[in-house]
Structure 1
């Protein structure tokens, strides 16, 4: 039972240290795509620790599970894990982690169902706000223009993703500013940022007492916007993208003394106007590889006893 306990300890360690290390990193805002990857790897490592610990605990508690998990393994490998020493603790750990896994799946399903319900509601609202004229047929284009006094634009995901933009936004955004807005929203769609937001919301909603999941959700909301800003600025320039953000949000009061509802917008504009130096390609590659190794550690911990036993043959 040492390996399941070690995996739980490792998962707790990653859950505590990863948010602190990523919060202190001076490169996260400079390289939001790398930061997104690092966060995903950290959360994947925590979940993998729990899944592997559950599997080994169940193998220690029940012979039937052990027979399936270690079916092709030599006897020395099974003995290396000392599965018979778990007792009731193994069964309790396995059941608790299995319930946690089922709860995670349920929260993810709930989040997906809610997202689909919101999309259907917004599509129904679009039909009401943009009714067909006599003789007009509903098109399946990627762009829909709505009459509106407020500047707004959003990407509506789904089987037929669509960019929705109001006439007020079209009047305010000039030339390449509109192109930058479209590129920003297309960046969200191409990178499937909606799935990242769904997964992070499901984990944070299902386990509000786990700080790493709450931090994961908050950082996903921030980093996906920075990543989409960078996608737009690489094509149309940082100044153009910043001006598009200002024009789109100026009448919402986000640049006033109390910009609480959209506090991230001024930060995004300042970041675009005073761009930090990007990391070198070698540094980005190193950070990406280092983050990718984090989920590998639980796998190594789980397989070390078996590999050591095989090495003794």
Structure 2
């Protein structure tokens, strides 16, 4: 029971402290890929803490579960966990955490189903506006040209990700700006940013009062765009992708004095034009390694009694 409570406390502590540590930091704007990794490790540590707490609570409450969890463990290891104490509380904790896990799975399933339904609807609308030519197979090309009076370009994720560009965007984008937009969207597709957005949305919707999940959801929306901007800027330059963003979004009024739902676009353009220096390779390596160690902490807490018994 003590191990279960320690893991639960650890998960709650990380969920409360991590957003406060990451929010004021300025390095995620300079290294969005590293920041994405850090956020994933933090959320993985929280979920792993809760999952291990549920496992040990269930093992303490029910002999059948204990037999499966400790099937090959020596008798001294089982005694080290003191599983026979506080069984009613262990059962309650296991049931609550199991319900949380099922709720998370249900939310993720609904989020993925909603996204797929929206994607099917968008693809059907696209076929109406841009019908296939004779002999052309659906999804054969990564680029779809759409007749439109407003400059726009968007990415349609899926098994065959596609970039949709309007004719007005072609008229406005000059030089390598279209190539930069295509590279930006390909960066999303290659990194599977859609799955990061689905998972963060499911956790934020399922547990809106847990700070780390709400912060994770907000950070993913910002960081995936910064990471894709960096992919494009490495190939075609920061100025090219910054001008492409302005050309595609200027008509929406996002660069005016009044805030809009796309308020992060001016910040992205300013970031590209400012060209702040990246972190040193050594600091990037230290951040990556430190983040990778965060999910290891719940495992160490879980196995401390066993290691002591065997040692």
Question: Structure 1 length as normaliser, TM-score?
Answer: 0.97
1:77 alignment partner in structure 2: 77
* In 1: Cα distance, 2:259 partner to 2:249 partner: 11
Superposition deviation, residue 132 in structure 1? 4.1
Q: Relative to 1, partners in 2 of residues 1:136 and 1:69: Cα closer, same or farther, differing over 3 Å?
A: closer
Superposition deviation, residue 125 in structure 1? 0.6
1:54-73 aligned at under 5 Å gives the runs: 54-73=54-73
* In 1: Cα distance, 2:228 partner to 2:210 partner: 28
2:11 alignment partner in structure 1: 11
Instruction: Find runs of 4+ consecutive structure 1 residues off by over 6 angstroms.
Output: none
Q: SS at the partner of 1:163?
A: strand
RMSD: 1.0
Cα pair 1:253 1:259 within 8 Å, conserved: no
* In 1: Cα distance, 2:261 partner to 2:99 partner: 36
Q: Which runs of 5+ in 2 are unaligned?
A: none
Task: Point out the more displaced range, 196-205 or 155-164.
Answer: 155-164
* In 2: Cα distance, 1:168 partner to 1:214 partner: 37
Superposition deviation, residue 60 in structure 1? 0.2
Task: Point out the more displaced range, 182-191 or 207-216.
Answer: 207-216
Answer yes or no: is 1:141 the counterpart of 2:141. Answer: yes
**For residues 262-289 of structure 1, what are the alpha-carbon distances to aligned partners after superposition, in whole Å with 9 as ceiling and x for unaligned?**
1000000000000111101110000000
Superposition deviation, residue 25 in structure 1? 1.6
Q: SS at the partner of 2:23?
A: helix
* In 2: Cα distance, 1:132 partner to 1:63 partner: 62
* In 1: Cα distance, 2:132 partner to 2:93 partner: 59
1:191 alignment partner in structure 2: 191
Q: SS at the partner of 2:84?
A: helix
Cα pair 1:42 1:295 within 8 Å, conserved: yes
Superposition deviation, residue 26 in structure 1? 2.1
2:34 alignment partner in structure 1: 34
2:301 alignment partner in structure 1: 301
The count of corresponding residues between Structure 1 and Structure 2 is 310
* In 1: Cα distance, 2:181 partner to 2:54 partner: 46
* In 1: Cα distance, 2:71 partner to 2:281 partner: 45
